[in-house]
Amino acid sequence: MNNWLIYLIEVSVCQTLFGLLYWTVFRHLSFFQANRIYLLTVTIISFIIPLISIPFWNAPASDASISVFHRLGHIELPIVPDKNMSIHATTFNVNWLMTILSLVYLIGFSYRFWKLFSGIIAVIKLTRNHAFSEEDGIKIIFIDRGPSFFSFLNYIFINRSHLAISEKEFTQVIEHEKAHVTQRHTLDNLLMELSILICWFNPVLRLMKKELNNVHEYYADAKANAFKGNTESYSKLILKLASNKGSSFLTHQFSMNTIKKRIIMLNKTKYKKRIALRYILVGPCLMLLMVAFSFVPKSSSTQKNIEAKGIPYVIGNIFWEGNSHYSDDYLSGYLGLKTGDPFNEEVINEKLSYQPEGRDLGSLFMDQGYLYFTIEMNKEIIGNKVDITFNIFEGKVSEIDKILITGNKKVSTEKILKMVDIAKGDLFSRSKLMSSQKKIIESGLFDSDKLTPNIIPHPNDGTVDIEFNVVEL
């Protein structure tokens, strides 16, 4: 699965957990500003947590049975693509699935982008096509159609022809919209819309935006009611304006489909400050997500730190563990690694697992029968030096049991076996397997693109079967 898709899934998981915490613990609290800060902060943090790598533990050595399949994937000839080497197992190709998922994501992204862009353009047109008056840095625009009242950035839009309210009620509505403007609630909406644009497939994020808009309304109601405060009359005003509809999802309109909630919150007794201690629960939730997505083995975070800092790191000390067949100095020399050389993890990994000429460490051990060989590299940064520890699992030596030829009809099995450099009782050898494959291809009797040597290990008795599946020309 592509990294970007994994990242978006992890972001969505963070958003969902933070959203559940809000709905179960904070949603009904009257700490409007605290709830607003919470919703905005966790939206941003959800995008950051999966990007953080915190080295927290030493990675354990790789399991041998898993390493077998990883190692065997690199047994190949320089002239034969790696895809032609396979273990006797079924492999599911997910490229088509990733293509479909990418296409679906781009369609959803494009739709949300068009919706966001068109909404902004619609409001900008209103500001350019209508005159405005300015009061305390807030621009008031009278419009001919649309909702009765709504705000966007430092603009308040009024369609007074739709209203049948008193001058006092009109003043309260203006104070309500001013609260949205002074608190910059439009920027909150833009942030949430950008988040929804990226994670449009996550319904939790849209619900979080709805809750944020509710918090905006609760706060603005409280400010407007405090201006010329009569809670009962202001509640009636909210009901009177309940039919106000039609503004953009980016704007704040005076009345929304949360009338009941707004009236309840307006008349609700304020919670005591000690109730705010509930927000401490954010800590355990954050820690849980950090453990899930940010805490990594110490070795896996080193290269990220090196790349991020852009410092020219060099190789420090080189340690070998688990090797018995070759000495430490021999292995370091074989890889061409020495203290003071520039550190390049990609180059080192190639020397460990695959080099076309067979000079990688995997070939060195596999030519001696170590079919189950695997190696793990751990790194530690000290100043501008990177200390490297190679943990080796050699495993047991494997002997060849059967050489199987399949797919041949015209060419005899005996003729093909004469091209094979390995025989029953030999130690497994990667280089001999490669040379056998090369000879069969160079015979000109078979389709080189479809020659598929299958390695069938039998770890219990220390043997391995080699099957050459040929397609005759």
- Name the CATH architecture for the domain at 399-469: Roll (3.10)
Helix/strand/coil for 445: coil
Residue 80 is predicted with a pLDDT of 37
Query: Is the confidence at residue 149, as pLDDT, over 50?
Result: yes
pTM, full prediction:
0.55
Mean pLDDT of the 292-298 span? 69
Q: Is pLDDT larger for residue 464 or for residue 449?
A: 464
Question: What pLDDT, on the 0 to 100 scale, is given for residue 68?
Answer: 39
Cα–Cα distances (Å) from 15 to 35, 194, 306, in that order, read 15, 14, 30
**Is the per-residue pLDDT at 249 higher than 60?**
no
Quote the pLDDT of residue 296. 62
User: What backbone phi and psi angles, to 5 degrees, belong to 229?
Assistant: -75, 110
The alpha carbons of the chain give a radius of gyration, in whole angstroms, of 34
Residue 429 has pLDDT above 70, yes or no: yes
Q: What's the rounded mean pLDDT across residues 95-118?
A: 88
User: Contact at 8 Å (CB) between 342 and 312?
Assistant: yes
Which residues lie below 8 Å from residue 417, measured CB to CB, with a gap of 6+? 403, 405
Confidence class for position 321, pLDDT limits 50, 70, 90 = very high
- At 402, the pLDDT band (50, 70, 90 cuts) reads very high
Q: Is the pLDDT of residue 90 over 50?
A: no
Q: How many Cβ atoms are within 10 Å of 450's Cβ, its own excluded?
A: 12
Q: What is the mean pLDDT of residues 424-436?
A: 89
| Closest alpha carbon to 291 in 27, 14, 30 | 14
pLDDT of 276 strictly over 90:
no
How many C-beta atoms surround the C-beta of residue 360 within 10 A? 21
Cβ-Cβ contacts under 8 Å for 87 (sequence gap 6 or more)? 69, 72, 73, 454, 455, 456, 457
Cα 213 to Cα 260: distance, rounded to the nearest angstrom: 14
In this structure, what token pair is assigned to residue 210?
């709805």
Q: What residues does each domain of the chain span?
A: 61-79+311-393, 95-129+164-171+182-271, 399-469
pLDDT of residue 70: 40
Instruction: Please indicate whether the domains covering 61-79+311-393 and 399-469 agree at the CATH topology level.
Output: yes
CATH architecture of 61-79+311-393: Roll (3.10)
